[in-house]
Amino acid sequence: MSGKVHKNDAGFENDYGDFSKFKKVYPPPMAFHEWIYLQYILVSGIYMLEPWERKLFNSAIIIFIAIICLILRYLLF
């Protein structure tokens, strides 16, 4: 490769070859609940935890949310 750009070049080419010949593949569409779960594991960082640690973390989150709901129920009603 000489480093000069020619007008007759069909696609983007670098030291690894011509990438214009690759077919563009799109991932299948994701359901909304799958996207929400993916955001949850990425934002909270639990994708790095072992399965038993994930269960413990998720249990703590569920218990925390349940306590908050009970407190709000008694305060509002």
pLDDT in tens, 5-54: 555 555 555 667 677 777 888 888 999 999 999 999 999 999 999 999 99
CB neighbourhood size of 16 (10 A): 6
Tokens 């490769």, residue located: 1
Rounded-to-integer distance, Cα 72 and Cα 64, Å: 12
Rounded-to-integer distance, Cα 66 and Cα 64, Å: 5
**pTM for the whole structure:** 0.58
Q: What are phi and psi of 63, to 5 degrees?
A: -65, -40
How much is the pLDDT for 14? Answer: 64
How much is the pLDDT for 22? Answer: 76
pLDDT band at 61 (very low <50, low <70, confident <90, very high): very high
How much is the pLDDT for 15? Answer: 67
Residue type, 47: Y
